Each structure stands twice: as structure tokens, then as C-alpha cells.
Chain A
């Protein structure tokens, strides 16, 4: 089920751009990935476009462009091919938002109380026990 990287069914990541240098030592892992494993990357998720850009004399980058318009860049400096793959996976599994403090809202909901709000007149004593195992 790796095709969906989604929020309510909408795919969040549009495009991945891998920038590398042809001769720099920090780009070695990225170069290995491009030469050997790029087709695997592309085939896992066909709706995702993977671009490769050469930038000489610069350290390598992995950049993810999201549906929301946000661009997240992670440096792939001195990483193995596996490490670059992990960076791509981490971009895929994120939404296009800033990193939140999820501790503040661990549950986001639209539903208000199903059983009705409490009031001093709510009768909690006359409750029928229908079944007890």
C-alpha cells in the first residue's frame, strides 16, 4: 500500500528533486543511488515525479515539493545510497506543513459529545444493565 502517502486520500508530495555534484566527495552516496537505484525509486510510486539536477561544486540535497506549496530541503551530505533513500522516505511520509508540537493537540476532532452534554439534571442512576458477562 505504498502508493498512498496521503492525507484523507490526497497525495501530499508532488515532486522530489535530488541535487548532486559530479565530482565532490560528499555526493558519492547520491551518485551511487542515481547510477543504480533510481529506477526503483521511481517505480515504487509512479505518481511521484523524481528529478535529478546536477549542481557542480555544491553539497547534495534532497528537496520535496508538496501540494501545499511548501518545499522541504534535507541535506544529503556524506550519506550512503541507503541514507539518501531514507531521506526520501521521510519526505514521503510527511505532510506539507511545518513540524508541529503534536503534544498540544493529540486528538483533532469534529465530533462533539455523542451522548449529550452533562447537566445537573442528567439522570445517571436509572441505567439499565442489559447484559453482563
Chain B
């Protein structure tokens, strides 16, 4: 486990976060518009990645608690790429419909989202299979999940109050089935009465394809 890996991790973090800060800086300098009644969000530019790398150090260097990175590492010789377009970072598989990206914003790479579907909340990332209550969709449909409560990636966490209107999650429907039979058994003791009932709940199984977020 070399220091080289650490440097690469730091560099990618810095390049993405610099891109992020540039876009957000541009927005903050312009009008504070687009605030609807329901949407507000707080975006945290976070330490988790740095803290995980400091965890890495602490495991192998010593057992002392984490220090800020600059005090531990010397200046890295790797120079981050300047003004690269976001296509390199945001490019995922070629299956993603470019129309969706145009409509809903760029894909957030390596991220997770908390989504509210069918009265329940799911923590969701790309490629997941989730089971929700029966939805009026057909197998093979591509749907967009609107109620996104939280989007997190390595660089930032966006917390919606209560919903992030700029974030969307896309999914394809894979299955519309019924669950395994659940037997409901009721019995009154000493009264010689008992009752058996079977129940099979209808369920929709979907696979998550992408998480979009309009940063600007």
C-alpha cells in the first residue's frame, strides 16, 4: 500500500471539488433565485474522503488520532488537470440517455441518494435492486423518482429540506410480482377456535440506473 495511491485519491478529490466550487461560486455571485417554497438545500463540502485517507495513514503509521493531511504529507508532485470539462468525471456507462442528462443535470458519480417511494425511504445507489409497493408501471419502463431527500458522494452531501428538487433518480422496472405467501394464523386458546389466512403482497422490483443532480 503505497503513498502513490493516496496522492491519486487526493488529486481526484481536489479536481472535482475545484470544479464544484467554481460552478457554485459562479452561482452564488449571481442572483439568489430559484428558491421555491419547498426546495432548499444545504450542500456540505465534506471531510469524509480526507478523513478516510487519514484513517489509512493512522492504521499504518501510528495509533494517534487524525491530523489534517497537510501536516502529514509533503507537497505532492502530481499537478491536477486545469479546466477539464466535466465529461471525464461524469461519464458513466454508455447506456445513459443523453436526453436525461440534458433534462435533469449531470450524473453524480459514485454517489448514493435517499429516495421516498411507496411510503418508505430507501438508500439507493447505481445498480441497486429495490423492492417497493406495487406501482402503476409495466415491466421494462424507465421511470424517474422525484422525491429525493438526500444525495451524497465522496465530495459533498446535499441535504434537502425536505426534498431536493434539483436531484432525480432514474430506474428501470424489472419485475411486478407477488411475494412469498405469508400465512396468518389466529387462534383463541381453550376456545377451540382457529383461523388460517394466506396473503401474497403485490410488489414492484426495480433497478436503479442513475442519480442526476443539477448543481447550478
Contacts and interface: CB of A to CB of B under 8 A. Distances in A.
Contacts, number: 149
Contacts of A103: 179
A122 B58 CA distance: 11
A35 interface: no
Contacts of A95: 174-175, 177
A115 interface: yes
Contacts of A114: 110-112, 125, 152-154
Interface stretch (B81-89, B96-104, B133-141): B133-141
Given A7-B174, A123-B47, A133-B35, A108 B42 contact: no
A127 B154 CA distance: 13
A68 to B, nearest CB: 13
Given A109-B128, A121-B65, A133 B40 contact: yes
Given A99-B200, A133-B35, A122 B55 contact: yes
Given A93-B175, A111-B125, A3 B140 contact: yes
Contacts of A5: 139-140
A117 B52 contact: yes
B175 A2 contact: no
A95 B175 CA distance: 7
B179 A131 contact: no
B7 interface: no
A130 B129 CA distance: 32
B7 to A, nearest CB: 17
B169 to A, nearest CB: 13
B128 A108 contact: yes
B180 A99 contact: yes
Nearest to A125: B47
B122 A107 contact: yes
A92 interface: yes
Interface in B110-168: 110-112, 120, 122-131, 138-142, 152-154, 156-157
A133 B42 CA distance: 7
Contacts of B24: 130-131
Contacts of B174: 6-8, 95
B124 to A, nearest CB: 7
Interface of B: 20-21, 24, 27-28, 32, 34-35, 39-49, 51-52, 54-55, 58, 65-66, 110-112, 120, 122-131, 138-142, 152-154, 156-157, 174-182, 200, 203, 205, 207
Interface of A: 1-8, 90, 92-95, 98-103, 105-111, 114-117, 119, 121-124, 126-133
Given A2-B139, A100-B180, 19 more contacts: A6-B174, A93-B139, A94-B175, A100-B179, A102-B131, A107-B123, A107-B131, A110-B127, A114-B112, A115-B153, A116-B51, A116-B52, A121-B65, A122-B51, A122-B52, A127-B46, A130-B156, A131-B42, A132-B42
